[in-house]
Structure 1
Amino acid sequence: MASERDPKQPDPAPAQWLLVDEGWGRKAVDFASLSEPGNCREYVSLHQLLGVGPGDHVLDVACGSELAAARGATVAGLDASQRLIAIARDRSPEADLRVGDMHALPWADGTFDVVTSFRGIWGTTPDAVAEVRRVLRPGGRMGLTVWGHIKASPGAWALSPFTLATREKVANQAAMVSLGRPGAGEQLLRSWGFENVERHDIPFAWEFADPEHYARTIASTGPAYEAIQAVGEEAFLDHARTAAAERLRDGLPLRAVILVVGYVATKPLDRPPVPDD
């Protein structure tokens, strides 16, 4: 089968994606055991919208696919962090899990019934959608989630330590979340030929036992690593503990509800056009 990869797009830069392991992989165990379980509402909601179930061959890009397997699907996954993939393989030894670049997915055209990405494809990586389309079979479904209006979120405080990063990094963070703006994700998916594009509000809430638990959890993420590079780990942790201490509630966990947007769409049965330059 001929590849649908757009010849007008530049070749991916693998070295750039290998650097992701420095941020997301340096505390992979903390991330997998402290941060990721709080994402379950998000995963379950998107899988429900996509109707994931037995008989589906599902790929997840830049995240885990364990819960899709729990719904009866055959699963595959890709991440740029070798250390996170090692944890995913420990959890799902039967899954096809690979380290790689989402701009150059190592699967053939039309391999999957469903492709998902949970806050893995951003406004700064829109061309990854072309690869998602390529590996989907005609009529296949795709779903992705992105942060919504963070400043309007009751739990925006939980992301505030990320702003300790350099001005350049903070500006990049803002560009990353741009797909959550009204119309942005819809326009991107339609530009790559997807149809039946729908936007949904996705339930999301982090909960933490105490400020120390919160600080350790948030420090395990990639954006935290950018802030830690700027101010040092102890300053980052102190900032996080202080932010959380102001929101303690007697007899209740610290809770951060953050607005998340989900998009679902289908690949047409005919071959869609690629965007113009």
Structure 2
Amino acid sequence: MTTDWRQVDTGWGRAAADFATLSEPANCREYTAMHHRLRIDDGDRLLDIACGAGLALELAALRGAGCAGIDASPRLVAVARDRSPQADIRVGDMTDLPWPDGSFDVATSFRGIWGTTEAAVAELYRVLRPGGRAGITVWGHLKLSPGAWALAPFRLAAPPALAHQAAMVALGRPGVGEELLTRHGFIDVRRVDVPFAWEFPDPGGYARALASTGPAYEAIQHVGETAFHDAARAAAAERVRAGLPLRALIAVTGFLAVKP
């Protein structure tokens, strides 16, 4: 299964405001943990690949970085530009980045580069200066994650879409991400555990937040909007705790590397 990058907006951009406000804020733990490990500081030139609604860029700028980003969804890029009008944020293809060689000190991608997008790793390497730092994250061991229930509605997608999703997350398997980065020239490759927790006020809030994502759109295409929301609310109803938010701890794996 292949996807033209220009089609990504169909799934990811359809509810851009919902994604930016209901889903993405929970990623702050992931973003800030990787920024800390990458030692982002004043004067760093940073590129975020598959930047989505741009929250990671906004947080990097708070650490003093000069930021650029790219995403395939014009509607998510519109949100990112609204959040960070001073940043250089473009709509485009992460496998053909529109910046010269050696443009950045740091490059990140938060669950945006997958086992199915190897060409993006080559481009990430190209736009880093010698000595530049790279940090990417992918889903980790989902079956062992206590919050795996929160991803279950994605399995309502059609079998070809599910097979493609499985190929995407293969990058988190033991040795796979390390081999990919090393093969493309990176050194000092390290695997790290990255904190990640989704939190939602109630089953309805969870269903709406989940429906704003690309994998949810694949499921909605297969079973319909009503069936997807019903399944999501039912999954969350079993996790309700009096006086506490719904909370889903999910394994996320990070890779840190250096361009020699």
Same fold (TM over 0.5): yes
* Corresponding residue number in structure 2 for 1:18: 6
Gap runs ≥5 in structure 2: none
Gap runs ≥5 in structure 1: 1-12, 269-277
253, 256, 259: which one aligns with 1:264: 256
* Corresponding residue number in structure 1 for 2:200: 208
* Corresponding residue number in structure 1 for 2:81: 89
In structure 1, distance between residues paired with 2:161 and 2:66 = 37
Deviation at 1:249?
A: 0.7
In structure 1, distance between residues paired with 2:71 and 2:58 = 14
CA RMSD of aligned residues (A): 0.9
Matched, 1:54 2:46: no
In structure 2, distance between residues paired with 1:95 and 1:255 = 33
Q: Which 4+ stretches in 1 moved above 4 angstroms?
A: none
AA aligned to 2:158 is T
Matched, 1:153 2:171: no
AA aligned to 2:182 is R
Q: Scaled by the length of structure 2, what TM-score is found?
A: 0.97
Deviation at 1:250?
A: 1.1
In structure 1, distance between residues paired with 2:58 and 2:189 = 25
- Encode CA deviations 1:212-254: one digit per residue, 9 max, x unaligned: 0000000000000000000000000000000000111111110
Matched, 1:44 2:32: yes
Name which one, 1 or 2, has greater alpha-carbon Rg. 1
* Corresponding residue number in structure 2 for 1:238: 230
Matched, 1:72 2:60: no
In structure 2, distance between residues paired with 1:37 and 1:267 = 30
* Corresponding residue number in structure 1 for 2:18: 30
In structure 2, distance between residues paired with 1:27 and 1:259 = 25
- Encode CA deviations 1:153-188: one digit per residue, 9 max, x unaligned: 000000000000001101111111001111111000
In structure 2, distance between residues paired with 1:49 and 1:184 = 21
Bigger helix share: 2
Aligned length: 255
* Corresponding residue number in structure 2 for 1:133: 125
160, 177, 180: which one aligns with 1:168: 160
In structure 2, distance between residues paired with 1:262 and 1:207 = 21
* Corresponding residue number in structure 2 for 1:188: 180
In structure 2, distance between residues paired with 1:161 and 1:126 = 27
Please state whether the residue corresponding to 2:36 is helix, strand or coil. helix
In structure 1, distance between residues paired with 2:247 and 2:31 = 18
In structure 1, distance between residues paired with 2:63 and 2:113 = 23
Q: Scaled by the length of structure 1, what TM-score is found?
A: 0.91
- Encode CA deviations 1:9-65: one digit per residue, 9 max, x unaligned: xxxx9x811100000000000000000000000000000010001010000000221
130, 136, 143: which one aligns with 2:135: 143
In structure 2, distance between residues paired with 1:210 and 1:204 = 19
Please state whether the residue corresponding to 2:5 is helix, strand or coil. helix
